[in-house]
A and B are shown apart, each in its own frame.
Chain A
Amino acid sequence: MTTLAETVSDSVTITRRNLIKVKRVPDLIVFATLSPIMFVLLFRYVFGSAIPIEGISYAEFLLPGIFAQTVVFGSTITGASLADDLQKGLIDRFRSLPMARSAVLVGRTVADLGLNVLTIVVMALTGLVVGWRIHSSVGEALAGFLILLLFAFAISWVMALVGLLVRTPEVVNNASFIVIFPLTFIANTFVPTDNFPTVLKTIADWNPVSAVVQAARELFGNTAPSLETSNAWPMQHPVPYVLAWVVVLLVVFVPLSVWAYLRTASR
Chain B
Amino acid sequence: MTNAVVVEGLVKRFGENTALGGVDLTVSEGTVLGLLGPNGAGKTTVVRILSTLLRPDAGRAEVNGLDVLTQGDRVRATIGLTGQYAAVDEYLTGQENLEMVGRLYRLGGKEARLRAGELLERFELADAAHRPAKTYSGGMRRRLDIAASLIARPRVLFLDEPTTGLDPRSRLGMWEFIADLVSDGTTILLTTQYLEEADRLADRMVVIDKGEVIARGTADELKAQVGGERLELTVSSSAQLSAAAEALRPLAQGEPHRDEQTRRLSLPVTGGTETLAEGLRRLAGTDVRVLDIGLRRPDLDDVFLTLTGHAAEESAAEAGADAAPTAVSAGASR
A and B are interacting partners: yes
Chain A: residues with CB nearer than 8 A to chain B?
Answer: 1-2, 6, 9-10, 13, 16-17, 20-21, 24-25, 88-90, 92-99, 103, 265-266
A98–B77 CB distance below 8 A: yes
Inter-chain CA distance A25–B84, complex, in Å, is: 26
Tell whether A92 pairs with B52 under 8 Å between CB atoms, given A2-B73, A24-B132, A97-B76.
no
Tell whether A95 pairs with B100 under 8 Å between CB atoms, given A2-B73, A25-B91, A89-B87.
no
Instruction: Name the one of A2, A93, A95 contacting B101, with C-beta atoms under 8 angstroms.
Output: A93
Inter-chain CA distance A134–B122, complex, in Å, is: 58
**Given A92-B48, A98-B74, A266-B83, 10 more contacts at CB 8 Å?**
A6-B106, A17-B92, A21-B92, A90-B87, A95-B52, A97-B101, A97-B104, A97-B105, A98-B104, A99-B105
Q: How many A-B pairs fall under 8 Å by CB? A: 72
**CB of B163 closer than 8 Å to a CB of A:** no
Instruction: Name the one of A25, A96, A103 contacting B76, with C-beta atoms under 8 angstroms.
Output: A96
Classify the secondary structure of A's interface with B. helix
Instruction: Name the one of B52, B90, B103 contacting A96, with C-beta atoms under 8 angstroms.
Output: B52
Inter-chain CA distance A90–B91, complex, in Å, is: 12
B87–A88 CB distance below 8 A: yes
A17–B81 CB distance below 8 A: no
Closest 10 A/B residue pairs (Cβ): A89-B87, A98-B77, A93-B87, A96-B81, A98-B76, A21-B91, A99-B104, A96-B51, A97-B104, A13-B103
Q: What are the residues of chain A within 8 A of B86 when measuring CB–CB? A: 89
Inter-chain CA distance A90–B89, complex, in Å, is: 7
Instruction: Name the one of B48, B85, B88, B103 contacting A265, with C-beta atoms under 8 angstroms.
Output: B48
Q: What are the residues of chain A within 8 A of B132 when measuring CB–CB? A: 24
Chain B: residues with CB nearer than 8 A to chain A?
Answer: 48, 51-54, 73-74, 76-77, 79, 81, 83-92, 96, 100-101, 103-106, 132, 148
30 residue pairs A–B, Cβ–Cβ below 8 Å: A1-B73, A2-B73, A9-B103, A10-B104, A13-B100, A13-B104, A20-B92, A21-B92, A88-B85, A88-B87, A88-B90, A89-B83, A89-B85, A90-B87, A92-B48, A92-B81, A93-B81, A93-B148, A94-B104, A95-B53, A96-B53, A96-B76, A96-B79, A96-B81, A97-B101, A97-B104, A98-B73, A98-B77, A98-B105, A99-B106
Q: What are the residues of chain A within 8 A of B54 when measuring CB–CB? A: 265
Closest chain A CB from B54 CB (angstroms):
6
Instruction: Name the one of A94, A98, A266 contacting B106, with C-beta atoms under 8 angstroms.
Output: A98
Inter-chain CA distance A25–B51, complex, in Å, is: 32
Q: What are the residues of chain A within 8 A of B105 when measuring CB–CB? A: 97-99
Q: What are the residues of chain A within 8 A of B73 when measuring CB–CB? A: 1-2, 98
Closest chain A CB from B312 CB (angstroms):
23
- Considering the complex, give the chain B residue whose CB is closest to the CB of A10: B104
Inter-chain CA distance A6–B77, complex, in Å, is: 14
Tell whether A20 pairs with B96 under 8 Å between CB atoms, given A2-B73, A89-B87, A92-B87.
yes
Q: What are the residues of chain B within 8 A of A25 when measuring CB–CB? A: 91
Q: What are the residues of chain B within 8 A of A16 when measuring CB–CB? A: 100
Inter-chain CA distance A164–B100, complex, in Å, is: 22
- Considering the complex, give the chain B residue whose CB is closest to the CB of A99: B104
Inter-chain CA distance A149–B81, complex, in Å, is: 37
Q: What are the residues of chain A within 8 A of B87 when measuring CB–CB? A: 88-90, 92-93
Tell whether A20 pairs with B91 under 8 Å between CB atoms, given A2-B73, A93-B83, A97-B76.
yes
- Considering the complex, give the chain A residue whose CB is closest to the CB of B151: A97
Q: What are the residues of chain B within 8 A of A98 when measuring CB–CB? A: 73-74, 76-77, 104-106
Q: What are the residues of chain B within 8 A of A92 when measuring CB–CB? A: 48, 53, 81, 83, 87
- Considering the complex, give the chain A residue whose CB is closest to the CB of B73: A98
Q: What are the residues of chain A within 8 A of B85 when measuring CB–CB? A: 88-89
B100–A265 CB distance below 8 A: no
Inter-chain CA distance A265–B53, complex, in Å, is: 7
Inter-chain CA distance A225–B104, complex, in Å, is: 55
Q: What are the residues of chain A within 8 A of B48 when measuring CB–CB? A: 92, 265
- Considering the complex, give the chain B residue whose CB is closest to the CB of A89: B87
B101–A17 CB distance below 8 A: no
